[in-house]
Amino acid sequence: MSSSFWSSSHCLHWLITRPALLISRHLDLQYCTPKQLYCLHIFFTQLIQKLGKRLLLRQIPIATACTFFKRFYLKNSICETNPYLVLAACVFVAAKVEETPVHIKSVVSEAKVVFNEYNIKLFPAETNKLGEMEFYLLEDLDFHLVIFHPYRALLHITGREPADSGKFPLSRTEEDQRFKKKELETRKKKDEEIRKSNLNTVGNKPSPGVGLVNGNKDVNEDDENQLEAKRIRRLMGRGSTEGIGEVDEGVLQISWFILNDTYRTDVHLLYPPYIIAISAIYVAFCLTSMNSSSASRTRTSSSSSQLNSVQSSTTINEQLGLDPPPNSASNFLAGFQVNLNILFACVQDIIRLYSIWESFEPTSMRNTNNPQNQQQNHLKSVLGGASMTGTEDGIDGKKEKFGFEEAEVLVRKMIESRLVDMGHPNNAGANQTAKRSLPTGASDGIDQSSVIGKKRVRK
């Protein structure tokens, strides 16, 4: 297990490019449209979440199962596998990985209940099938089971939780004093070396000496600037929730719900977790700014621990002579050294989800008793309504319906069509037909079309 994201298998092996993602799905796109395939992944994620809730799993194991499912289909196709057996195996393995194991019989029994709600008959209700699928899943995942989710990055960025589990031996002020003391000792040694070098110069030649002293002064100034910049970067990047900005509890809650929804998209295959977390915060800030009454109401409900950390960070920054933490959303987001093109590409992928999700599963069909579903309905109505393009039009100009029932039917048709194509490919028997159409003793170089034409003429 890697404690650093940058040296983990998640970063080194499972962050792919968008063209690679499209190539991995070229076979499925032969049997459905890109929008239908997108809706299928929403459908499968919904099944994973329902199965996880019936097994009493928390959000982290469910998110791990969704990521395993996405990674598995980077190397496989829906039309050539049983996706319902795969997603049940993903939940079973994810529960083990996140140290909340469930019995294989419980997974099979609860999966039968969930799949019966959608009239799914493809799931084999046998424990040995699920156990066998577990090994195939682990093999296709290359046994890379550690996943870095954006939840921890979100809590760290908003100041609710430190980025590391331990504590630094020195505070920021103590470390700053120690660092300045080392800088002073280093500067004294350099000045002593310069003084000795000037005394060892042969002859009375003032001009070279003056040039040497001026050159040393320039070098010292450059060294001081570099050391000062290094000191600021090191103090502001300790990962101990110091130097953060004030983020409301309402913004944090909306960001958390957005992160839950992102597992219906492909952002976890394309972007690092901290980019996804910052994108969720950006969307949450936009939503709260659209509703000023909500923003003013949540402004007073910030976490007490987070407020204390902001106040202590402000005091320490004043003692160190550094700028105070940002107090506005724009300054807060501008403080992150991330590529804006990548950030807004991730934001666009998140916003795009809600318009397609609304057309696939309208808000009126969802259970509104669950607070999380209520928040998801609000996000879908705001973000989905702004960029709603409607469902694809049919031949008669009417909107073509594509929901859960149609998704289940499409999966069966894709699998059946693929089996037919594998058993009867388009070029099946082409060589035998060409040989039969040739006259006896004819050479292989004769054009097949001309021979067939001559035989028709004779008839």
Q: Is 337 helix (H, G, I), strand (E, B) or coil?
A: coil
pTM of the model: 0.71
∠ CA 346-349-352, nearest 5°, is 150
- Contact indicator for 380, 354 with CB cutoff of 8 Å: yes
Q: Residue 204 — φ and ψ, nearest 5°?
A: -95, 85
Q: Residue 71 — φ and ψ, nearest 5°?
A: -65, -40
* 399 strand-pairing partners: 393
DSSP state of 384: I
pLDDT digits (tens, 9 = 90+) for 401-451: 788 889 999 999 999 999 998 887 766 555 555 555 545 544 444 444 444
- Contact indicator for 110, 61 with CB cutoff of 8 Å: no
Q: Which residues 6+ apart lie within 8 Å of 444 measured at CB?
A: 438
* 393 strand-pairing partners: 399
Cα separation, 453 vs 81, whole angstroms: 43
DSSP state of 383: I
pLDDT for the residue 86: 95
pLDDT digits (tens, 9 = 90+) for 302-358: 445 454 555 566 666 666 566 666 667 777 777 777 888 999 999 999 999 999 998
User: Could you give the angle at which helices 273-290 and 249-262 cross, rounded to 10 degrees?
Assistant: 130
pLDDT < 50 positions in the chain: 1, 204, 207, 209-210, 212-213, 233, 236-243, 293-303, 305, 307, 386-397, 438, 441-459
- Contact indicator for 303, 249 with CB cutoff of 8 Å: yes
- Which tokens is 381 given? 């109505």
pLDDT for the residue 26: 94
- Which tokens is 438 given? 């040739």
Name residue 230's amino acid.
K
pLDDT for the residue 403: 84
- Contact indicator for 283, 346 with CB cutoff of 8 Å: no
Helix, strand, coil shares of the chain, percent, nearest 5, are 70, 0, 30
- Distances from the Cα of 2 to the Cα of 68, 115, 176, 357, angstroms: 18, 36, 30, 35
pLDDT for the residue 366: 59
Name residue 276's amino acid.
I
